[in-house]
Structure 1
């Protein structure tokens, strides 16, 4: 019988988890002069590549976005769940470097640089010859730059080939590879070797990858070798981290980056999913776990679930012209500022249905990441002669919305709640007096006492609030369909305002999130 490898018992990290909640997958992290910077994937949304900053690794501030302009990433015709995939952030010779693959886009593998991670960042240089995803950037002891990447070659959204983990020397200024990519170590044999990162430590080069796919088999594995080019041998206790086959609250743990923590010990920052029953309503988020080293190998603690206790309240009133300046606003394939109609009603945010509602390819929609299982979002809307409202989007096929329009009688407003998935949509309607109405979407975790493996998701409630403050509930339903497992979206829930027909005016936007349960 083959002896089982020895695994260290590593003490759990004393940090909040999820670390950066909501739609924040594939994190990459660096420490520069006592400050941490993390960037996550953004796929079809703009601005792309959110940048977060922290000095204690517990509290993170969204300070900007690497690519706030469409031409930096070329997303105008990019399909949902394609676009800006997993980045790598590194600091070299006084300059911040961010390398990323933009799939289904003419940009391909792009390198952005900045002197300040808050921006502005460069327009980006495409590196020709990197046909794959999840690029890593590292420099050897002579200053030669290497890109190591997953050889999952996509043309549009179609897989052409998958050659495992590849590597090539590159000219970052000219934007080209200097050699034919070589095959490196591609893991233990699990599917989808990807997300490589290289580290130089104690005279050895370490190659960390993800494998097992980004679902429940997701794992972190590592190898080491004498050179940046290898050869690499795998750790005897691979995978060094996985929640596969466990009942842990945090699942799908993988796609990790290694960074020195605030107390001098190493940490893995990685993606995971927060389970509610059998589904992950908020999809892939950023987590952290502790690392200890023994015999030249890292050992990781299972990822704990330790939610923050403080609620979050955000309020944006559109009488303020700077209300959309916050870096957390998102739109699909274009910037939020270009979705908003110029010359709209004074004191309101005006959206015009040029492309269509929340369930179209490029919706007239501006929103923000949902970060709490128990949340309330609302907006006061004046539909005038248009139709639009408040919605949750995973992609154009999986949406939840509550929208307002003038009542057929011509007096008052008709409000319709709608829950849509492929081939099926259901709606509920009610009417309210006046020319404006508050639309509300609330979500909350299932009732306490349910079996942890019960087939349920969060509960979603759609309602309206009239001018007298009276709430009318339109519907309440199980939200498991609008989750990572069913929608199969790489992104996450984005909630915001949209126009479906004509011109719609919004007075404000409010988000309340309870403690992360």
Structure 2
């Protein structure tokens, strides 16, 4: 039998929702503040996957201007019924403190690649909405309800309400169907029907090291739901030796050969620091029904495995995508994203200078409104990013270059700017938990250069920047930097018992331009390369 190696979707690809349509498998994952919203991946063998579309590609579907870091699209649910694809999702406008402003919507399409419809508003009572298609044709939305009241469990239980496709709204009574188990933090609900039962698959324990997937069942849709007495279906909690940590938030899949699998969220912390520099990823596990009708991992126990038996089907390998984006016109690489809104001609264009991407400077890297930043996920512990730009800044307020980015509080930036002493020069700025720094003692002069090549080399927890005039002879800029700054663990921090920030995304590498004077000076980028180094080190072996 073929073997599947986890994670199947490496790098920032959390909260997977999986479906099968014929012989095709599709997984939707969360994108949070990155635009376009929701990544959909395609496979025919469960081994090889390719990103094929982003359904939320218009601001009429998703306007995240001003959304907080790790806000935006949470836990989309993809489903298919009678020729129509359905996607429900949350647009999170706030998530720190006692309140969460979480607006839930549904969009539809006749083709998985779109076009996808304008959104229909559902509710704002909580997050992680899921759509269940009943055999009689009725449709039901289930979601976590959020309880802000003092002294209450904020994860207030799973509720269900009917969705009227004709009226395009939720109708009828709201029923609470599950309070969760003692693990707490019950969220991410999905309902399935099998063996004469309704099965409720939920995420519990929080999306960190205590994460889990639990199963409950009932004879009727509205319950009462009884939790599996044997405990979680899946978890890596209290098992620090496992390569796949944070296991939970699962979704069930049946193959044409009657094989059962779950796809689930996971993280791969580097040893010994425990930092998940690649964010939360997606893995898969083989399952089976027990004699008494509960869902169980096929290998026994509840721990996620790195190698999993795949279905006996013909291998389906996708054509490798190019490492370099040359900006020669047409659509950008599907892997490139912007922050909180689309790339539009008014700030990034390939039409004004053929063969180059011209990017106009806007707000700072701390902004949650108008950043001129285009980047892609880091998906390997060893990776390089490279670009070449032509830029003529007139002051220190104008910058352009290469960014290693987690969110507005956590980043490294190798940039070209103008300094009163050094003239045209290369500098580095950094931010860790919102604390700004400039690691270089002084900027490095590039006075007289018409073009500057910039490179970032990442090896697990080390980051080294380089610059060059010709892309042949490279010179390091500064010393080795701590890449673990760009991780979930550094982004999340607590002071005096209060959470000051949350981190649900992952590391991105990209290009950006700022003009803090407001004059919108532009930089021209010739190319952007993302390359996975691919070499296996002792650290890699420890993490598999």
- Using the size of structure 2 for normalisation, the TM-score is 0.84
Give the superposition deviation at 1:146: 0.9
Give the superposition deviation at 1:341: 4.6
Q: What is aligned with 1:423? A: 435
Change (3 A) 1:172 1:423: same
Kindly indicate whether the alpha-carbon contact (under 8 Å) linking 2:422 and 2:445 is maintained by their aligned counterparts in 1. Answer: no
* SS at structure 2 position matched to 1:18: coil
Aligned length: 485
Q: What is aligned with 1:381? A: 389
Give the superposition deviation at 1:303: 2.0
Change (3 A) 1:264 1:207: same
Q: What is aligned with 1:303? A: 304
Q: What is aligned with 1:452? A: none
Q: What is aligned with 1:4? A: none
Please say if 1:505 is aligned against 2:511: no
Please say if 1:289 is aligned against 2:285: yes
Quote the Cα distance in structure 1 between the aligned partners of 2:344 and 2:148: 31
| Structure 1 residues 448-490: Cα deviation after superposition (integer angstroms, max 9, x where no partner) | xxxxxxxxxx111111122262111123122222211111311
Change (3 A) 1:46 1:195: same
Quote the Cα distance in structure 2 between the aligned partners of 1:256 and 1:44: 22
* SS at structure 1 position matched to 2:367: coil
Matches within 5 A, 1:174-213: 174-213=167-206
Give the superposition deviation at 1:305: 3.2
Quote the Cα distance in structure 1 between the aligned partners of 2:471 and 2:235: 52
Quote the Cα distance in structure 2 between the aligned partners of 1:265 and 1:297: 15
* SS at structure 2 position matched to 1:180: strand
Kindly indicate whether the alpha-carbon contact (under 8 Å) linking 2:285 and 2:304 is maintained by their aligned counterparts in 1. Answer: yes
Give the superposition deviation at 1:349: 0.7
Q: What is aligned with 2:466? A: 463
Q: What is aligned with 1:258? A: 252
Kindly indicate whether the alpha-carbon contact (under 8 Å) linking 1:391 and 1:401 is maintained by their aligned counterparts in 2. Answer: yes
Change (3 A) 1:154 1:374: farther
* SS at structure 1 position matched to 2:3: coil
Quote the Cα distance in structure 2 between the aligned partners of 1:361 and 1:267: 38
Quote the Cα distance in structure 2 between the aligned partners of 1:406 and 1:472: 19
Please say if 1:482 is aligned against 2:521: no
| Unaligned residue ranges in structure 2 (runs of 5+) | 95-100, 309-316, 493-502, 516-520
* SS at structure 1 position matched to 2:89: strand
Q: What is aligned with 1:455? A: none
Give the superposition deviation at 1:361: 2.1
Q: What is aligned with 1:113? A: 108
* SS at structure 1 position matched to 2:489: helix
Change (3 A) 1:509 1:262: farther
Kindly indicate whether the alpha-carbon contact (under 8 Å) linking 2:245 and 2:269 is maintained by their aligned counterparts in 1. Answer: yes
| Unaligned residue ranges in structure 1 (runs of 5+) | 1-11, 446-457
Quote the Cα distance in structure 2 between the aligned partners of 1:22 and 1:44: 16
Give the superposition deviation at 1:99: 0.8
Kindly indicate whether the alpha-carbon contact (under 8 Å) linking 2:88 and 2:129 is maintained by their aligned counterparts in 1. Answer: yes
Quote the Cα distance in structure 1 between the aligned partners of 2:199 and 2:6: 26
Q: What is aligned with 2:55? A: 66
Q: CA RMSD in A?
A: 2.6
| Structure 1 residues 358-410: Cα deviation after superposition (integer angstroms, max 9, x where no partner) | 33223210111111110000100112224210102211110111111256578
* SS at structure 1 position matched to 2:5: coil
* SS at structure 2 position matched to 1:85: strand
Give the superposition deviation at 1:53: 0.8
Q: What is aligned with 1:45? A: 34
Please say if 1:332 is aligned against 2:339: yes
Change (3 A) 1:136 1:381: same
Quote the Cα distance in structure 2 between the aligned partners of 1:405 and 1:176: 52
Please say if 1:438 is aligned against 2:453: yes
Kindly indicate whether the alpha-carbon contact (under 8 Å) linking 1:434 and 1:467 is maintained by their aligned counterparts in 2. Answer: no
Q: What is aligned with 2:324? A: 315
Moved more, 134-143 or 430-439: 430-439
Matches within 5 A, 1:363-402: 363-385=371-393, 386-402=398-414
In structure 2, which of residues 386, 408, 415 is the aligned counterpart of residue 403 of structure 1? 415
Quote the Cα distance in structure 1 between the aligned partners of 2:376 and 2:352: 22
Kindly indicate whether the alpha-carbon contact (under 8 Å) linking 2:275 and 2:489 is maintained by their aligned counterparts in 1. Answer: yes
Change (3 A) 1:213 1:169: same
Give the superposition deviation at 1:437: 1.2
Give the superposition deviation at 1:69: 0.9
| Structure 1 residues 283-340: Cα deviation after superposition (integer angstroms, max 9, x where no partner) | 11111111122121111253233599x998511112x11252x322211111123541
* SS at structure 2 position matched to 1:104: strand
Quote the Cα distance in structure 2 between the aligned partners of 1:492 and 1:419: 17
Quote the Cα distance in structure 2 between the aligned partners of 1:103 and 1:241: 27
- Using the size of structure 1 for normalisation, the TM-score is 0.88
Kindly indicate whether the alpha-carbon contact (under 8 Å) linking 1:349 and 1:506 is maintained by their aligned counterparts in 2. Answer: yes
Q: What is aligned with 2:499? A: none
Q: What is aligned with 1:270? A: 264
Quote the Cα distance in structure 2 between the aligned partners of 1:226 and 1:399: 50
Kindly indicate whether the alpha-carbon contact (under 8 Å) linking 1:140 and 1:228 is maintained by their aligned counterparts in 2. Answer: no
Quote the Cα distance in structure 1 between the aligned partners of 2:28 and 2:6: 17
* SS at structure 2 position matched to 1:480: helix
Change (3 A) 1:153 1:103: farther
Q: What is aligned with 1:359? A: 366
